Amino acid sequence: MFSILRRNLKTGRVTVPVTAGPAGEHELVGAELKSKVARLLGGRSLHVREVDAGSCNGCELEITGLSTPTYDIERFGVHFVASPRHADVLLVTGPVTRQMALALAKTYEAAPEPRIVIASGDCAVDCGVFAGSYAVAGPVESFIPVDIKIKGCPPSPMTILRALLAACDRLPR
């Protein structure tokens, strides 16, 4: 106990300052996103339901980054919702595990049209490091139609922001 305390006091702070990529990039993409959302959805927010189909939670950490003060995604008109019934976009992470395959299909069925699906991260796209695991049933597109695929382990908040911008282009005009 005391040795851990002593080591931590000796080590000091090891965190690094958070940056959002090249200066101002997230502001530019965010402004474009905000304008598209306002134009296409008549003033309401773009509603996103995040679905963890079997992720290691690394992808969720990056998605959570979008709600931190650095990105503050709600100011760009994007709102994470608790129910697929309110979702314009399903943001799916992880390889689809055997336990989650049915839940993912039901979540997709519960979402209203146009049901835009983003497969977020290497695992969602092709099972990534979990390919071949006895617990994994397959990539997201084996169970529901996928509109946008983003690679990365995990994809950065900036990459997810760009994917949401691309998702807007699939909204009915």
Site residues (CB under 6 A) for ligand SF4?
A: 55-56, 58-59, 93-94, 121-123, 128-129, 153-154
Place of tokens 């090249």: 22
| Tokens describing residue 173 | 């005009």
Q: Which is nearer to ligand SF4, 73 or 96 (CB)?
A: 96
| Tokens describing residue 124 | 């969602």
Contacts of 99 (CB under 8 A, 6+ apart): 54, 135
CB of 31 to ligand SF4, least distance (A): 28
Nearest residue by C-beta to ligand SF4? 58
Q: If residue 9 lies in a helix (H) or strand (E), which one and from where to where?
A: helix 2-11
Contacts of 77 (CB under 8 A, 6+ apart): 33, 34, 37, 38, 41, 45, 46
Report d(CA 158, CA 68) in Å as an integer: 13
CB of 161 to ligand SF4, least distance (A): 17
CB of 152 to ligand SF4, least distance (A): 7
Q: Which is nearer to ligand SF4, 123 or 168 (CB)?
A: 123
Tell me the DSSP string of 67-107: TSTTT-GGGGTEEE-S-GGG-SEEEEESPEETTTHHHHHHH
CB of 33 to ligand SF4, least distance (A): 23
> Does the CA dihedral 140-146-149-155 come out positive or negative?
negative
Q: Which is nearer to ligand SF4, 76 or 143 (CB)?
A: 143
Q: Which is nearer to ligand SF4, 37 or 125 (CB)?
A: 125
Q: Which is nearer to ligand SF4, 8 or 142 (CB)?
A: 142
CB of 153 to ligand SF4, least distance (A): 3
